[in-house]
């Protein structure tokens, strides 16, 4: 598994569905560089079980991300047409109608591969046939990309394990706190907590205050 933290986020141009129903070509995270932070997350597949709970949870907290100058973008290996259909399907019927952040179509698996969340890979068998070994879907990868286009946080869950949207918000708050104050965020830090100076004196003072 590649560690992308500290590196420029892999660039891509792909089909996507935006605003809950508009199919666009050449969607790219590069459009947000210099303007917004990006929470870019992968999920295994449309019309599944854990995935809609995550996507709807992100939608429910979308205003909180917007307050933090952050956009949310999802991606899976499904086509833009599958995304569109899922977005038009009522929640009571297994759909995600009402979600309006972008969903990227990675039907060629190239984006998942570049972010190293693809749960398998192509290879040739003994007969010389090109086959896919593993599961042709993405793990639940999440990447926080800052306004400079650099990955500052990543987490990858196995497919059965849903993510915490509140944790994504906490990490954005921690990044903002560091950028604004120059102080680092200790374990279990939350917005409103004190940070600490990255010095021996700073950590000693912080730990003493916890006693």
DSSP type of residue 9? P
Q: What are the residues whose beta carbons fall under 8 Å from the beta carbon of 133, sequence distance 6 or more?
A: 120, 121, 122, 123
Pair 59, 53: CB distance under 8 Å: no
Pair 19, 88: CB distance under 8 Å: no
Edge-to-edge strand ranges of the sheet holding 70-76? 22-27, 14-18, 103-105, 70-76, 37-42, 140-145, 151-157
**Helix residue ranges, H only, the chain:** 50-60, 62-67, 80-88, 110-114, 165-181, 200-210
Going by their DSSP bridges, the two strands 103-105 and 14-18 should be labelled as antiparallel
Going by their DSSP bridges, the two strands 37-42 and 140-145 should be labelled as antiparallel
Q: Is residue 185 among the annotated active site residues?
A: no
Options 51, 142, 145, 174, the catalytic residue: 51
Q: Which two tokens stand for residue 123?
A: 């290879």
At 99, give phi and psi (nearest 5°): -75, 135
Residues acting as catalytic residues: 51
């Amino acid at each position: 598994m590649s560690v992308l933290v500290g590196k420029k986020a892999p660039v891509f141009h792909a089909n996507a569905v935006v605003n809950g129903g508009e199919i666009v070509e050449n969607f790219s995270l590069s459009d947000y560089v210099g303007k917004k932070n990006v929470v870019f997350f992968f999920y295994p597949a449309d019309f599944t079980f854990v995935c809609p709970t995550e996507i709807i949870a992100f939608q429910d907290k979308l205003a909180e991300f917007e307050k933090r100058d952050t956009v949310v973008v999802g991606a899976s290996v499904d086509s833009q047409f599958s995304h569109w259909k899922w977005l038009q399907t009522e929640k009571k019927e297994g759909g995600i109608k009402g979600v309006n952040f972008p969903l990227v179509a990675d039907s060629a698996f190239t984006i998942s591969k570049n972010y190293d969340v693809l749960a398998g890979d192509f290879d040739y068998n003994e007969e010389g046939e090109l086959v896919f070994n593993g599961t042709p879907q993405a793990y639940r990868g999440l990447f926080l990309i800052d306004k400079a286009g650099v990955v500052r946080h990543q987490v990858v869950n196995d497919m059965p394990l849903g993510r915490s949207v509140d944790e994504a918000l906490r990490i954005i708050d921690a990044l903002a706190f560091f950028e604004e104050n120059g102080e680092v965020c200790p374990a279990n830090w939350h917005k409103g907590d004190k940070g600490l100076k990255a010095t021996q004196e700073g950590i000693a003072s912080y730990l003493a205050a916890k006693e």
